[in-house]
Structure 1
């Protein structure tokens, strides 16, 4: 993984297919919603199966703070749909099949073919205001309340 920082920079734009059946373009939120991008390694893995349901469960709190949560990894839309159904995940899960978006954000682990675990908070102007990349994919230190606190500061 690249140790680049995007803090204070415009967030790299992307368009990806989603578990909700739509195609999601990051820049479409500009001007009206903050975006919380949650990069995670794999659907159905133990830590991810805690993390994404936790973020999904706080969706109302994020909405109240003017933000949407988007999960991103390299699994297919079909895997995302199955995982979301099994774990009750309601946030859109985006399929970054070739890790291009993960690379733009410096969180692709190419040698393993997965996305690192990271959270980026992008404000309504499209600028990265908070970023945290976990040292190991098994770490999960940035809980939803941390990001909600950051949102309250915007």
Structure 2
């Protein structure tokens, strides 16, 4: 299911920092990069999220914010962020409701797939990529930055 060209499904989720984050609160201000990933502390995720976090200055320069989303609790997110130096907001979608809205929930495994959604300042999905296998990580930060610059 492609959401490209459609309004991004709105949501509010608890973040690793303790506050609730609402997607629509970024509307008119920043492009949002939604990074859905399966599990904190898993090998591929522990490469992907630190890589995105390490480029957050580049994303900020491009007018974008990165939000990591998965089913782990804010407590797991905090521990993982501390251990791996992850500074982007990590959101707890513990019942996979948001992953379902975006078509990336893998209900039989209780996780979300690995996916990137680019939501422009108007709240419209401009790009999406869902990995064929959760162990794949093919869309690197540079590719997403290039897409943002095309908007």
SS state of the match for residue 79, structure 2? helix
Task: Give the equivalent residue in structure 2 for 1:33.
Answer: 30
Q: CA RMSD in A?
A: 0.3
Task: Give the equivalent residue in structure 2 for 1:99.
Answer: 96
CA distance in 2, matches of 1:140, 1:69: 16
CA distance in 2, matches of 1:147, 1:97: 26
Residue 129 of structure 1: how far off its partner (Å): 0.4
1:1-37 Cα offsets, whole Å, 9 max, x none, are xxx1100000000000000111000000000100000
Residue 118 of structure 1: how far off its partner (Å): 0.1
Structure 2 gaps of 5+ residues are none
Task: Give the equivalent residue in structure 2 for 1:54.
Answer: 51
Length-normalised TM-score, structure 1: 0.98
Residue 45 of structure 1: how far off its partner (Å): 0.0
Task: Give the equivalent residue in structure 2 for 1:84.
Answer: 81
Structure 1 gaps of 5+ residues are none
CA distance in 2, matches of 1:37, 1:23: 15
1:75-129 Cα offsets, whole Å, 9 max, x none, are 0000000000000000000000000000000000000000100000000000000
Task: Within 5 Å, give how 1:1-154 maps onto structure 2.
Answer: 4-154=1-151
Length-normalised TM-score, structure 2: 1.00
CA distance in 2, matches of 1:148, 1:37: 13
The alignment of Structure 1 onto Structure 2 pairs a total of residues equal to 151
